[in-house]
A = this chain, B = another copy of it.
Amino acid sequence: MDEQDFVNFLRGNFEFTRGTGIGDDASVVPFGDGFQLITKDILVEGVHFSLDYFSLEELALKSLAVNVSDIAAMGGDPQYFYVGIGFPPYLDEADLRQFYKGLAAGCEKWGIELAGGDYSTAPRLFISITLVGFASKPVFRSGARPGDLIGITGSTGESALGLELLKRGIRDPYFQRRHIVVEPELAKGKLLAQEASSMIDVSDGIAIDLKRLLTASNVGGEIYVEYLPIDSRMREAASAHELDPVELALTGGEDYVLLFTVPVDREKTLRQSFGRLELNYHIIGKATSAAGTLTVFCEGAPLKLNRSGYDHFPQGG
C-alpha cells in the first residue's frame, strides 16, 4: 500500500460531509464568509529528524513551519495550533523549555497562537501539530486542467542536499540551513489563491508531489528539466559532492516551495501580482490530458528517474 492506495482506502471507508477532507494539504470546511482550514503533520525522531543536527528550538520551528506550509498551499492564513509532544527520558526540562521557546518564536514569526495540546512521556521524541487557518478562496490539489501551466515558487533539492551533507558529517552551513529552517511561502500562496487552478507544497519532492496533484486533478503533466530553478551555487555544491543537482531538484523533499497550475490566460495576471511585490515563480511545464502520467523532459527526451522521491508507506503486509 502506497500513500495513494491509503488515501483511496480512507476515502472508500470514511465520508466527510462537512467539507473537503482526506487527500489535500488541509481539510476545508465552510466558515463564516470563507473556509476554515485544518492540517495535521507529525514529526518522528529517527524518521523526520535527528537530534544530532536539530536543536529543540529549531525542531519546534520546523514542526510549525511544515504545518504553516500546508495552509500556504491552500492559499490561506494560519491562525492557531495544538501541540502533542511525546517526550523521551533522555531529554530534560531544559530541552522541553527550549522546544516551547521555538514554538513561541514561530508564533511571533507567523502571527499564530498556541491553543492547546497534550504531553506524554514516550520512548522517542515525536511532535504532532494541528494547525487551524482560514482562506476566503482555498485552492485544492484537484483543480488542474489539461493545458494549464505548471509552476513552482522556488528551488528544490537544496534541503535534500543539506540533509545529505549533515548525514555525511560534512559542514556546509548554507545548505544545512536550507534543511533545518523552513520558510513557508505564505505570501506567494495568497497571491496564487487568486489565479491558480491547483496547488500543493513540495514536502516529498517534485516527482511525488506533482504526481499527487496530477492524480487528484485527473490530468497528466510534462515538465522540462531546463526550466527547473537550480542555481549555480546548488549545481557546484552538488557536483563537488558527486550528487546530481537535477535528480536532487526532482526527488529531494522538504523544500516546502509551492507547486501549482495556472490556466494560460490567467498567468499574465499572476505574473503581474507577483511582480508588484517583487516576488518570482518559475513555469516548469504544463498539464496534459494523459491522466496520471508525469513525464520529465531533458533536452527534448523523456528522462528516467532513479528514485521518485520519498514515500512513507511500507510495501506489502
* Nearest CB in chain B: distance from A76 CB, A: 14
* Nearest CB in chain B: distance from A34 CB, A: 13
Asked whether any CB of chain B lies closer than 8 Å to the CB of A198, the reply is no
Asked whether any CB of chain B lies closer than 8 Å to the CB of A232, the reply is no
Given contacts A122-B126, A126-B126, A316-B93, contact A80 B115 (CB under 8 A): no
Q: Are B114 and A22 in contact, CB atoms less than 8 angstroms apart?
A: yes
Residues of B within 8 A of A43 (CB): 120
Q: Are A115 and B16 in contact, CB atoms less than 8 angstroms apart?
A: yes
Residues of B within 8 A of A22 (CB): 114-117
Count of this chain's copies in the oligomeric assembly: 2
Asked whether any CB of chain B lies closer than 8 Å to the CB of A48, the reply is yes
Given contacts A93-B316, A128-B128, contact A116 B86 (CB under 8 A): no
Q: Are A114 and B14 in contact, CB atoms less than 8 angstroms apart?
A: yes
Q: Are B38 and A132 in contact, CB atoms less than 8 angstroms apart?
A: yes
Taking CB atoms and an 8 Å cut-off, the chain A residues in 123-146 that contact chain B are 123-124, 126, 128, 130, 132
Taking CB atoms and an 8 Å cut-off, the chain A residues in 1-22 that contact chain B are 1, 3, 6, 9-10, 13-19, 21-22
Asked whether any CB of chain B lies closer than 8 Å to the CB of A300, the reply is no
Q: Bound state CA distance, A257 and B231, in angstroms?
A: 60
Given contacts A79-B18, A100-B13, A126-B126, contact A116 B40 (CB under 8 A): yes
Cβ contact of A93, chosen from B1, B17, B26, B92, cutoff 8 A: B1
Q: Are A122 and B14 in contact, CB atoms less than 8 angstroms apart?
A: no
Q: Bound state CA distance, A89 and B18, in angstroms?
A: 34
Cβ contact of A38, chosen from B93, B115, B316, cutoff 8 A: B115
Contact string against B for A residues 294-314, beta-carbon threshold 8 Å, 1 for contact and 0 otherwise: 000000000000000000111
Asked whether any CB of chain B lies closer than 8 Å to the CB of A27, the reply is yes
Q: Are A119 and B14 in contact, CB atoms less than 8 angstroms apart?
A: no
Given contacts A119-B312, A119-B313, A130-B82, contact A113 B41 (CB under 8 A): no
Q: Are B130 and A40 in contact, CB atoms less than 8 angstroms apart?
A: yes
Asked whether any CB of chain B lies closer than 8 Å to the CB of A176, the reply is no
* Nearest CB in chain B: distance from A92 CB, A: 3
Residues of B within 8 A of A47 (CB): 120-122
Q: Are B314 and A18 in contact, CB atoms less than 8 angstroms apart?
A: no
* Nearest CB in chain B: distance from A73 CB, A: 13
Q: Are B126 and A16 in contact, CB atoms less than 8 angstroms apart?
A: no
Q: Can you name 7 A-B pairs with beta carbons within 8 Å? A: A15-B113, A21-B113, A27-B115, A40-B128, A44-B122, A95-B317, A118-B128
